[in-house]
Structure 1
Amino acid sequence: MADKTTIIVQSGDMDKLYSALIVSNGSLAMGMEVSLYFTFWGLLRLKKGGLEKGPLSKMHFLGLGKKMMLGRMKKNNVASLERLMADFKELGGKIIACEMTMDIMGLKRSDLIEDIIDDYGAVGTYIQEARQSAITLFI
């Protein structure tokens, strides 16, 4: 089994996307390979302008919870999702967009941030990545 982490990013919630990127960047920093397979609401975060748009999974309160959380994160020097994604790509992380989800949600490749996506695939693409991984997560 390879020294690799593969994560299904199914949720588009801000806090869950933070979790996926923080674990991914930690894995990359420890010398592991990392693949993120974006599907369903997670894939919506890869739309142009969509990375920072997700709600909190809990205590969203019509956006007030997210605003409070972002304020606390800024106060504690937590990197933005855009910065974490840029770091992920700079460290060699791989992003896969689910083609089935694109079809279901009526998305075209041109709707997505194409320069960060490494591959487009279906469940078989994810399985191939996961079967070569020491760590697999579903977020």
Structure 2
Amino acid sequence: MVEENKPDKATIIVHSGDMDKIYSALIVANGALSMGMEASLYFTFWGLQRLQKGGLEKGPLSKMHFLGLGKSMIKSRMKKANVASLEHLFRDFKELGGKVIACEMTMEIMGVSKEDLDQNLIDEYGAVGTYVNEARDSKITLFI
């Protein structure tokens, strides 16, 4: 069996809207881009909420949220450690050529219209076939 030569590409399903998981997705994707790879983020279900207008910084922490206190504590520690904001990481991702795909099926299920989403963040709308085509051509696929 001959191994297929796949492009240097990473595709990440962003299923969660939790702040720490959005950070993880963007840090890995930006790392891939900075190493010369292509990178795609496929936002679906609760991850899609972060693409809504003003929604990027809204998600809770996945653990230790404590009615928002945990998130404030983590953000304070991140600031002290000079960790970039989600908006900054997203801007870097787009400037480095990263691609953002919004899941059309999730939009329909959750009653989200294109007008609800920040069009500056999205490159493409697609269903599962769009994700499968991205993943099929990727060396790295992740589910966050």
User: In which range does the TM-score fall when normalised by the shorter chain?
Assistant: over 0.9
Query: Which of 43, 63, 67 is equivalent to 1:62?
Result: 67
Output the CA distance in 2 between the equivalents of 1:133 and 1:2.
6
2:52 aligned residue: 47
Output the CA distance in 2 between the equivalents of 1:24 and 1:129.
14
Output the CA distance in 1 between the equivalents of 2:22 and 2:88.
13
For residue 95 of structure 1, what is the amino acid of its counterpart?
V
Tell me the SS of whatever aligns to 1:73. helix
Query: Which of 106, 110, 115 is equivalent to 1:110?
Result: 115
1:84 aligned residue: 89
Tell me the SS of whatever aligns to 1:45. helix
Q: Is 1:17 the counterpart of 2:22 in the alignment? A: yes
Output the CA distance in 1 between the equivalents of 2:71 and 2:121.
25
Output the CA distance in 1 between the equivalents of 2:90 and 2:118.
12
Q: Which runs of 4+ in 1 moved over 3 A?
A: none
1:128 aligned residue: 133
Q: Is 1:34 the counterpart of 2:39 in the alignment? A: yes
Q: Size of the alignment, in residue pairs?
A: 139
Output the CA distance in 2 between the equivalents of 1:84 and 1:110.
23
2:8 aligned residue: 3
Task: Work out the percentage of aligned pairs sharing the same amino acid.
Answer: 76
User: Aligned-pair distance for 1:129?
Assistant: 0.1
Please report the RMSD computed on the Cα atoms of aligned residues, expressed in angstroms. 0.4
TM-score by length of 2: 0.96
User: Aligned-pair distance for 1:119?
Assistant: 0.5
For residue 58 of structure 1, what is the amino acid of its counterpart?
K
User: Aligned-pair distance for 1:19?
Assistant: 0.2
Unmatched runs of 5 consecutive residues or more in structure 2: 1-5
